[in-house]
Structure 1
Amino acid sequence: MNRSLLLLFIIGISLGTGIIFSCTQSDHQSPDTSSKEHTIDRQFVGDESCASCHSSQMASWEGSHHDYAMKEASERTVRGDFDNTTFTHQEETYRFFREDSLFMVEAPGPDGGSVHYQVTHTFGWAPLQQYLLDFGKGKLQALNIAWDTEKEEWFAMNPEEEIQHGDWLHWTGGAMNWNTMCADCHSTNLQQNYIAEADSFHTTWSSINVSCESCHGPGKKHVDFVQSEEVEGATIERIREDLELTQNTPQTEQIDQCAQCHALREDMTDDYAHTGNFLDHYNPTLPHPESYFADGQIKEEVYVYGSFLQSKMFGEGVKCNDCHDPHSLELKANVTDNTLCMQCHEPRYNTVEHYKHRVNTEASQCINCHMTGRYYMEVDFRRDHSFRVPRPDLSAEFDTPNACNDCHDQRSPEWAARAIEEWYGPERPDHFSEILLKANETGADALPALKELIADTLQPDIARATAVWYAGQFPSRQSLELLEGSLKDESPLVRNSTARALASFPENLKNPALQEALDDSLRAVRIAAAEGLAEFSAADISFNMKQHFNDALEEYKRYLEVSQYFPQGQMNRGQFFEKQGQPDRAIAAYRKALEKDPYFNPARINLAYLYNRRGNNAEAEKLLKKVIEQEPDYGPVYYSLALLLAEEKQLAEAVPHFKKAAELMPQNARTRYNWAISLQQLGRPQQAEEAYRQAIALDPENPDYHYGISTLYIQQEQYRDARPHAKKLTELQPNNDRFRRLLQMINSRIGN
């Protein structure tokens, strides 16, 4: 579905870590802007306290992207032209002007009418700067028109998309709301404080930008220690003990800390609190479509975590601060002459013999072959951190991007593949992406290869977790057997992916298998298990897991509260209430999701199904027709509407929708089967025959389709046409008496 995944418009910021040895505490007050009170947590001391001892680190940080992640709007911080300039996008005009010392924007508001807004804050510094506008009720919205700091002009961040007023994705809607979509990665110790009853916020922070304690954690214990007599004679290890991200922080711990913001992830809790594991607070998006290309390369705005964990660099122990200065965020060495890469790699890789292009050109730079990139928000170029070897041969087979054709865009992948073979020989090293690509193409046929990848602990854990995701797309006893062992895998990513995969399995398959995840050490895994088992009562849970089940269910409920601002969060609440046998609360949640986003059709479809189950098909029909109005190319909704109409005995009205569904879902055999039944019942045998034949061509081993066409031929007394299908039925199910009798009857009518 076009809108089944929301686009998250979050400004990315460069990787940052840091080193702290001692601090001096100071009285720090948060900036008071837009008549909002921003309180400070007593455990956070503010970056001024750090500066007294760490002046060089502070000087390096000042002026960085972290420093400018968010600022109050002022003459010093605003880079855009507010000298009564205008910009027109999709026939709507935006005016940027001043009122005394204030920066103002005249822009189309929620209903399309022109509204004057005050710019309260800047967001980012380069290559673009966004502006936050005060919407009242504690809400700030990020304007979709931003300032290009290189070209020094206004531009639209989504120029090709026609987003309607009232849409969640409109700049006045939830997708561009600072409090929920951006704030926690642009300020320190951010507390959203959403008040659901009033649909308002009382959002607070300790520091307005990404400051020392964003990465190093609350500093009060550290400050108290270094100001005490205990510091005399203390080891450096003791001085660092109360901090996160110091010089000797282990790789995984450092990356997990950076991944709070440099990952595409879903919040599991309302506060990171600098406690626990990454998966105690977040559920990261794995590298599979739609966010990534099927081989794991970046596609949508996914940041760095999901890419880097695929890389050999990560496998060899490389950390973020091996390449990035943890305070200035600049690269530690030059990349144009490959000095940065040569910190670790042998000199032979920095030769013409390796890169096969002229020296001192863009083609001789390691990053242009091994770190391709894409533009986000129109002007922000970001590189893929999976550090992969160009594979134009895979591009030729699976239509994935590759570095060679990024430059040689007038040439074919086949041409590039021949060049690679000529230079480096015919053999390519095995790569996990080959299995993932085939799984994306062939579906359940890839299960044996996926099983091997999941079991291969030499492969990146995130690749194994993605293989689990693919296996979960084909619920069956075969895939269940494959996944059951993964629930106890040492990798947190694999266990989390397994629990989420099993959660979508049919009831008879996932319970009791999923119970094993209820006492997992990580919250994300326990929540996934609770979600999957929510339709069961405690009586369905084994005795020794009952308390774990109850505890995990409470964690899941708290997660639902955290995400209730979002349409997806309300839909999740609706699904939970359905599982708990509370249909009225489910209806209210689905309605709330649609109130937040009138175009959020997953909730509309779920609501239609719920009305159908409650016997209110008239309301269900209206909802499904609304989906078709908004998404006329979404095949499954035509199929759902056709089934609903058929259930109501409105076969003539159902047939056109079956036909449209078949056109939009050319590989869906079941659609054609139900279409054929409707045509058969309407007395249109020739059309029914064609629909049955299409279904059989797509799924020749399905007995339903052979039985259906057999009955059609028998009705038409075409026994010779019916016989091969009846015979096929006995081959598919040799112990089925009904199928044997059907074949005997057909043979008797033919006379042999």
Structure 2
Amino acid sequence: MPPFRLPMHLGMLFLGLFAVSNPAASGSETPEFVGSQVCGTCHTAQGRAWSNSHHGWALREPTPEHVLGDFADATVEHKGVTSRFFQRDGHYFIETDGADGKLATFEVKYVVGVSPLQQYLVELDRGRLQALDLAWDIGNQRWFHLYPNDDVSAGNGLHWTGSYKNWQARCAVCHQTDFRKNYDPATHGYQSQWSELTVGCEACHGPGAAHVVWAKKRADFDPAGFQNVDSHGLLRPEGNGRQTIEQNMCGPCHSRREAMGADSPLPGAVFGDHYNLMTLGNMLYFPDGQQRDEVYVLGSFLQSKMHTKGVTCTNCHDPHSGGLVAEGNAVCTQCHNETGRADFLSLKPANYESAAHHHHPAGSAGAQCVSCHMPARNYMIVDGRRDHFFRVPNPLLSQKAGSPDACLSCHASETAAWAAGEIMRWAPNWLNPDSTLAETFAAVWRKGLSREALDDLCAIATDTSRSAIARASAVREIGDQADPMTATALAQLLADDSDMIRVAAIRLWRSAPAGDRADRLQPLLTDPVAAVRVAAALELSNIAPDELPVERRDALAAALAELKASMGARSDFPEGQMAIGGLAMATSNWEAAQAAFAEATFMDPQLVQAWITRAKIAAALGDVGAAMAILVDARAKNPGEISISTQLGQILMSQGRPDQAIPVLRDVVSADPGNQDMRITLTLALLQTGDFAAAGSEITVLRKASPERAEVLLVLALWQAASGDLDGARETVDEIRQDHPNLPLPPQLDALSR
């Protein structure tokens, strides 16, 4: 379970899941799943390797052989809650806080994982499987909490009983074989099914019934009797070439992505037909492309030179055991050696396992290839995962980007300048790689999209020598901030070979006039990749069908159906409900939008943007009372969240309720003393209630911060007039007239100026 909450923003019209059906080839029968035990009767060596692998341990029954944690009445305390782990009648139980915050006892339904930690699932009402935040540390033999510093108490959306920790919504597709979610939005319940509890043989090879028939018949086997199988009865994977096939096979579960449906697709299906890979932004990566959040390998690997040269997963990993194909540096030296390899001719033959290359004592940590080229980062507290970018260390670039540096991770007392000097001493001709991407991303993430940064992003996006994920990420950073000139300049990307780039480029047209948007995006409604079709449908969702050529209208209807199905598949996600609500807003279906955002706040009471959007819709529809009630509820569930208080204070003032607005506005300026807009609003509220002394105190603060700001002068004049200082008010009004001649004055001040 990834320890994070996905961020929500005002631009909630993002891509959700893409629900598409698996393409059916000719044939009369769909092969069924038979289970790994059947496979193992013939493939014994592979079965043995798999049986103790991470795949084999992905999900298991809670038996004495499988439960690795201490259930001998062990206890652990976290933030005032003492949890207890015990056995009774051969079953395993955990006593911990439930959804209501009270201690309750839960039976362990399944165990997850084998190393370096093991998690535990319990079944709650309505078939909901939930992953507890308490896990067993295999290496240190202890219970620990996955969120030691966060508020994940009962009532918080991140509590273990909530939607973010739901197994069926978040985890099952990659931990089970042929998983079918079967979520019921009406009851918030699940009737999930699967063909095999854990990640079995058929999770990668596909349903095996046809292959079993082949094994029995051999020469008499007719593949035409089954759908989409080869002459041995095995599923035909999509794609051309080993790298693409393996990327489609392994990538879906070893990547940070949004899935394209509720259930497991057939293994090896085109990635872009079922998943949308997350790009390098949103704090998932450091500006130089290093892993930051849990990104699960693929996004890092796609940036690497090794990927560019054709390296693929099984060059390094055994597909059945999941382990490495060799020990230590031997994994790397199978290619990086003095003789080279015929299948990777661009490699420079050399003795890489020598002090002349790594400049560290033989056998030391620094002499290990992975120490410099695959630095590890811990996730889930104890799970160290190596970066698959395979970078050459660059201390100065890491310093500029604010990224970790492999050298300084060991030499912690040294500086980036020292590390760079050492490298230059070893290799005087060492050249710094192009730093444009890292420096541009760092600048945009820190300061926003400047003209210079926009030019750099456009250059990265159109540089075909860069990886597709880097180019797509540059386009994503521009996003809907693109003006028509920028969108037109990058229009070529709508026809790029990479579906990831095409998806990103579609977003550039969000702010374009409807006619231009329709002209540019309508061809993509029939793109061969589902992710592209859905992205195009999203941006065209608020365009009337009659604005499209007749021959494109059916394509729009079909793509919109895919879009709605994809969002429906994520209806058990808070962020899925945000997407549903965003689409409803785009099509002016306000009732559906309200329902979706209400569902989002039910699933995650801390989803602030959903609360605010609900209130804004209610106010826009004229139901100000409902808007205030929504914000009062939101404020109770999110104490200290100033954006909610800001909205509530503004609505109360607009409804002539300054007495009720004052405590709300005080909370805002107390939490954010530099928020002059809200301090001005507070001052107006105090004036309206006749608290001139308090208003004067606020004006003193405002005058000190912005003595010449027009609105500050305005409230000063109002305060002076209300306090009886008419001469002072006239002087202030004259100053306003002189310095801000276009500022409209309220009648009582306008009269003074005459």
**Coarse TM-score class (shorter-chain normalised):** 0.7 to 0.9
> Following superposition of structure 1 onto structure 2, how do residues 366-385 of structure 1 map, counting pairs within 5 Å?
366-385=369-388
Inter-CA distance 694–656: structure 2 relative to 1 (3 Å threshold): farther
State the one-letter code of the partner of 1:527: V
3-state DSSP of counterpart to 1:578: helix
Q: Distance in 1 between matches of 2:71 and 2:472?
A: 48
Inter-CA distance 401–506: structure 2 relative to 1 (3 Å threshold): farther
Q: Distance in 1 between matches of 2:240 and 2:531?
A: 27
- The question of 1:514 aligning with 2:514 is answered no
Inter-CA distance 449–183: structure 2 relative to 1 (3 Å threshold): same
Inter-CA distance 591–522: structure 2 relative to 1 (3 Å threshold): same
Q: Distance in 2 between matches of 1:247 and 1:621?
A: 54
TM-score (norm. length: structure 1): 0.80
Among residues 439, 445, 455, which one is paired with 1:440 in the alignment? 445
Does structure 1 retain, via aligned residues, the 8 Å contact 2:506–2:535? Answer: yes
- Aligned position for 1:564: 571
Does structure 1 retain, via aligned residues, the 8 Å contact 2:527–2:533? Answer: yes
Encode CA deviations 1:42-97: one digit per residue, 9 max, x unaligned.
62121222222211111111111111111111111111111122111111111111
- Aligned position for 1:263: 255
3-state DSSP of counterpart to 2:130: strand
Q: Distance in 1 between matches of 2:450 and 2:549?
A: 31
- Aligned position for 1:304: 297
3-state DSSP of counterpart to 1:107: strand
Among residues 267, 274, 278, which one is paired with 1:281 in the alignment? 274
> Following superposition of structure 1 onto structure 2, how do residues 318-397 of structure 1 map, counting pairs within 5 Å?
318-335=311-328, 338-346=329-337, 347-397=350-400
State the one-letter code of the partner of 1:255: Q
What is the Cα deviation at residue 695 of structure 1? 12
Does structure 2 retain, via aligned residues, the 8 Å contact 1:263–1:306? Answer: yes
- Aligned position for 1:5: 7
Encode CA deviations 1:128-182: one digit per residue, 9 max, x unaligned.
1111112132221111111111222211111111212132311111111112111
Encode CA deviations 1:246-265: one digit per residue, 9 max, x unaligned.
99962022112111211111
State the one-letter code of the partner of 1:472: G
Inter-CA distance 160–498: structure 2 relative to 1 (3 Å threshold): same
State the one-letter code of the partner of 1:439: V
- The question of 1:450 aligning with 2:447 is answered no
Among residues 67, 77, 80, which one is paired with 1:78 in the alignment? 67
3-state DSSP of counterpart to 2:317: coil
Inter-CA distance 476–691: structure 2 relative to 1 (3 Å threshold): farther
Q: Distance in 2 between matches of 1:57 and 1:665?
A: 64
Higher RCO structure, 1 or 2 (CA under 8 Å, sep 6+): 2
- The question of 1:428 aligning with 2:432 is answered yes
Does structure 2 retain, via aligned residues, the 8 Å contact 1:675–1:691? Answer: no
- Aligned position for 1:20: none
Q: Distance in 2 between matches of 1:248 and 1:532?
A: 31
- The question of 1:141 aligning with 2:118 is answered no
- Aligned position for 1:173: 162
State the one-letter code of the partner of 1:217: G
Q: Distance in 1 between matches of 2:113 and 2:645?
A: 44
Inter-CA distance 501–283: structure 2 relative to 1 (3 Å threshold): farther
Encode CA deviations 1:524-581: one digit per residue, 9 max, x unaligned.
1111222222222212334332111111111111112101111111222222222222
Unaligned runs of 5+ in 1: 7-40, 697-711, 727-737, 739-752
- The question of 1:614 aligning with 2:637 is answered no
> Following superposition of structure 1 onto structure 2, how do residues 379-418 of structure 1 map, counting pairs within 5 Å?
379-418=382-421
Q: Distance in 1 between matches of 2:636 and 2:125?
A: 33
What is the Cα deviation at residue 508 of structure 1? 7.7
Q: Distance in 2 between matches of 1:638 and 1:413?
A: 44
3-state DSSP of counterpart to 2:85: strand
3-state DSSP of counterpart to 1:257: helix
Question: Percent identity between the aligned chains?
Answer: 33
- The question of 1:228 aligning with 2:228 is answered no
Inter-CA distance 423–552: structure 2 relative to 1 (3 Å threshold): same
Inter-CA distance 636–512: structure 2 relative to 1 (3 Å threshold): farther
Does structure 2 retain, via aligned residues, the 8 Å contact 1:714–1:722? Answer: no
- Aligned position for 1:13: none
TM-score (norm. length: structure 2): 0.80
Greater shift, 221-230 or 361-370, is seen at: 221-230
Inter-CA distance 97–472: structure 2 relative to 1 (3 Å threshold): same
What is the Cα deviation at residue 403 of structure 1? 0.9
Encode CA deviations 1:194-238: one digit per residue, 9 max, x unaligned.
12222221111111111111011112222223333536899xx95
- Aligned position for 1:598: 605
C-alpha RMSD of matched pairs (Å): 3.7
- Aligned position for 1:731: none
Q: Distance in 2 between matches of 1:86 and 1:112?
A: 18
Q: Distance in 1 between matches of 2:501 and 2:113?
A: 35
3-state DSSP of counterpart to 2:351: helix
Does structure 1 retain, via aligned residues, the 8 Å contact 2:605–2:637? Answer: no
- Aligned position for 1:36: none
Inter-CA distance 680–100: structure 2 relative to 1 (3 Å threshold): closer
Q: Distance in 2 between matches of 1:247 and 1:444?
A: 40
Q: Distance in 2 between matches of 1:76 and 1:134?
A: 21
- Aligned position for 1:460: 467
> Following superposition of structure 1 onto structure 2, how do residues 656-675 of structure 1 map, counting pairs within 5 Å?
none
3-state DSSP of counterpart to 1:288: coil
What is the Cα deviation at residue 441 of structure 1? 3.9
What is the Cα deviation at residue 523 of structure 1? 1.1
State the one-letter code of the partner of 2:734: Q
- The question of 1:716 aligning with 2:734 is answered yes
Inter-CA distance 279–246: structure 2 relative to 1 (3 Å threshold): closer
Inter-CA distance 436–142: structure 2 relative to 1 (3 Å threshold): same
Inter-CA distance 449–664: structure 2 relative to 1 (3 Å threshold): farther
Encode CA deviations 1:268-327: one digit per residue, 9 max, x unaligned.
222313474111111121121322222221111111111111111111111111001110
Greater shift, 468-477 or 322-331, is seen at: 468-477
> Following superposition of structure 1 onto structure 2, how do residues 104-123 of structure 1 map, counting pairs within 5 Å?
104-123=93-112
Inter-CA distance 621–353: structure 2 relative to 1 (3 Å threshold): farther
Inter-CA distance 449–269: structure 2 relative to 1 (3 Å threshold): same
Q: Distance in 2 between matches of 1:636 and 1:153?
A: 40
What is the Cα deviation at residue 110 of structure 1? 0.8
Inter-CA distance 110–233: structure 2 relative to 1 (3 Å threshold): closer
Unaligned runs of 5+ in 2: 9-29, 224-228, 338-349, 688-694, 712-729, 744-754
- Aligned position for 1:490: 497
Inter-CA distance 356–640: structure 2 relative to 1 (3 Å threshold): farther
Inter-CA distance 170–722: structure 2 relative to 1 (3 Å threshold): closer
State the one-letter code of the partner of 2:116: P
Q: Distance in 2 between matches of 1:411 and 1:523?
A: 50
State the one-letter code of the partner of 1:352: A
Inter-CA distance 659–419: structure 2 relative to 1 (3 Å threshold): farther
Pairs aligned (count): 668
Encode CA deviations 1:677-723: one digit per residue, 9 max, x unaligned.
99899997994896597899xxxxxxxxxxxxxxx999535788679
3-state DSSP of counterpart to 1:295: coil
Q: Distance in 2 between matches of 1:509 and 1:75?
A: 64
Does structure 2 retain, via aligned residues, the 8 Å contact 1:311–1:387? Answer: yes
Q: Distance in 2 between matches of 1:366 and 1:692?
A: 61
Encode CA deviations 1:384-408: one digit per residue, 9 max, x unaligned.
1111122221232232211122222
